[in-house]
Chains A and B, each alone.
Chain A
């Protein structure tokens, strides 16, 4: 087994375990714990991106998701008083139906992936392509790139409007 395969299984297991602990931590229901495990999950997914030779996206994943987005999440968790969360109980019916339906969904997805024969005859390219990605982003995808900047501006204005105390 090649070293990349070992790292793949390591990062995949870490990603899934941490994602599970975000959703259903058996020890605590604290949202801060969930947020911390989400950070771990995102960082190990950046490891998967590195294994897929998407180095730029791995960096962006850590900077934007694990950095900016999670800080925002933690700010809001600290801002709100969520102590009540720990006292609430899951509804058994909801948990059972949720687990069953999601298990069925996963079974269908895995079955579809394994029987589709997607992996046959594809060879990944040799080197990483941050250079080519940048060229593509600023030539073919220049207009979407600019539109996304407008979207960020709109989101910023919207957030400021939403957080005003009294809307006039």
Chain B
């Protein structure tokens, strides 16, 4: 990496790398909870990109959007984890490989 003064591109590359790590986690891991954490990483990557755009375009709307994303992510985590707990209570597993009852 060339060490130029840090600009918008640097933040966007970090955001893209973070998003790709999240995708990798969802593809690679088979544990529902770790897959959920990878989803959080992807949401955070989007947040970082939005804040960077907001900063470098002198426009605060991006930060408001991030505020809403954080709120919605909190609600989403609560509902998703409740679903995982309900699923575990019924099937005694948190692995996607064991949850194949909807497979054709």
Chain A positions within 8 Å of B, measured between CB atoms, are: 1-2, 4-5, 8-9, 12, 15-16, 19-20, 22-24, 31, 34-35, 38, 41-42, 45, 48-49, 52-54, 56-57, 60-61, 64-65, 68-69, 72-73, 76-77, 79-80, 82, 84-85, 88, 90, 94-95, 97-99, 101-103, 105-106, 109-110, 113-114, 118-119, 122, 124-125, 129, 132-133, 136-137, 141, 144, 148, 151-152, 154-156, 158-159, 162-163
**Distance between A77 CB and nearest chain B CB, rounded to angstroms:** 6
> How far apart sit A98 and B85, CA to CA, in the bound complex (Å)?
27
> How far apart sit A133 and B51, CA to CA, in the bound complex (Å)?
12
Q: A23-B28, A23-B29 are in contact. Are A80 and B21 (CB under 8 A)?
A: no
Number of B interface residues at 8 Å Cβ cutoff, please give it. 70
Chain B positions within 8 Å of A, measured between CB atoms, are: 3, 5-14, 16-25, 27-31, 33-34, 36-38, 40-41, 44, 47-48, 51-52, 54-58, 60-61, 63-64, 66-68, 70-79, 81-86, 88, 93-95
> How far apart sit A145 and B48, CA to CA, in the bound complex (Å)?
21
**Distance between A14 CB and nearest chain B CB, rounded to angstroms:** 11
User: Interface on chain B toward A: helix, strand, loop, or mixed SS?
Assistant: helix
> How far apart sit A97 and B20, CA to CA, in the bound complex (Å)?
14
> How far apart sit A124 and B5, CA to CA, in the bound complex (Å)?
13
B9 near A114: Cβ-Cβ < 8 Å: yes
User: Interface on chain A toward B: helix, strand, loop, or mixed SS?
Assistant: helix
> How far apart sit A65 and B3, CA to CA, in the bound complex (Å)?
31
